[in-house]
Amino acid sequence: MTDDVLIEREGALGRIRLNRPKAIHALTADMCRVVLSTLGEWAGDPSIEAVSIDHADGRGFCAGGDIRLIAESSRGDGSAARDFFRVEYAMNHRLFTFAKPVVAFMDGITMGGGVGISQPAKHRVATENTKFAMPETSIGLFPDVGGGWYLSRLPGRMGQFLALTGHRLDGAECLALGLATHYLPATALDEAKQRIAADPREIETVLGDLSAPAPEAAILAHQGEIDRLFASDKLEEILEALDEDDTDFAREQRKLLAQKSPQAMKVSLKLLLDGRAMPTFEDEMRQEFAVAAHVVQRPDIVEGVRAVIVDKDHAPRWNPATPEAVSDHVIDRIFAPLPADEEWNPA
């Protein structure tokens, strides 16, 4: 057990509360194990009718996963990173297949691992504080924890845009895109949680009663541009489209992509291309684990974490350094299935 996640029961409601505020509740392997074990217990417990996921203190819901551990492991044989991904993805899958209603409160920063722990929930609550993103291409990684499934199912090419740029969505934008099911003022969350605990069978009614009109979703004004500029599944063609488009929006995106890992961007595009046709979420997680297992044996994750999180010079030296240098052969090797005794399977 760990104090970094609090497990509580309030009547017929099981509560999972992330409790690592100094790291904005970023998930560790131990936190994932506790959540995984708890969900397994509650699945067969008739006294638990629903589950809620939120954070106990601090300014965000969940900022991601244990990136420092992943990068440090990648300097060696990557085994600790693989162990982390294995248990995290098992938790993601158990949430996705959990038969009882789950409500996730995405109040504040919801990124990376926070996306993975909230998107499987039937009820996903955004607020004016929500900052939702999958920024992994900045650190040489890719939008995992089911990102290939969720992002590939967004309207038009919105998923590709979000995966490549790491663009932050606010709560209203999450609602408009279907990443949130409800928009509540942050001041209404305590009442929502109290009423849900009093009668977990009334989650939908409670959230509906307390919902507020969301502001205009600014990202929708760019849907047409995104669909046109990010239309290709080839990174070089997207970059060419951005270079040829004489608009502030295109120039801004081109400047952003120049900072991202070329390898991570190509991996992300293929992940979404495959993800949209993936038969089941289990298949998605199995592929993402294989991709992650290969990526942590390559140099970009170490360099990305150094540049963004450790030294914070934001001047990564990617390897390969250009999109053209990331060959189809490299991508094929990254997406190669693992041997049967190493592949991911649900817990």
- Residue positions annotated with a catalytic role: 65, 113, 136, 144
Let me know: does 170 contact 164? Beta carbons within 8 Å: no
Helices in the chain by DSSP H: which ranges? 29-43, 67-75, 79-97, 113-118, 147-150, 158-165, 171-177, 189-198, 203-210, 223-229, 235-244, 248-257, 262-275, 281-295, 300-305, 328-334
Query: CA 8, CA 137: separation in Å to the nearest integer?
Result: 35
CA distances from residue 39 to 3, 16, 35, 92, 152 in whole angstroms, order as listed: 17, 9, 6, 11, 27
Query: Can you give the C-alpha Rg of the chain in angstroms?
Result: 20
Query: CA 70, CA 235: separation in Å to the nearest integer?
Result: 26
Per the structure block, which two tokens stand in for 82? Answer: 């693989």
Let me know: does 110 contact 60? Beta carbons within 8 Å: yes
Q: How long is the chain?
A: 347
Q: How many CA atoms lie within 13 A of 312 on its CB side?
A: 1
**Quick count: other Cβ atoms within 10 Å of Cβ 141?**
29
Taking the chain, what is the end-to-end CA distance rounded to the nearest angstrom?
Answer: 18
Let me know: does 193 contact 52? Beta carbons within 8 Å: yes
Which residues, including other chains, have CB under 8 Å from residue 312's CB and lie 6 or more apart? none
Preceding amide of 320 cis, omega within 30: yes
For Cα atoms 62, 127, 284, give the angle at the middle one, nearest 5 degrees.
50
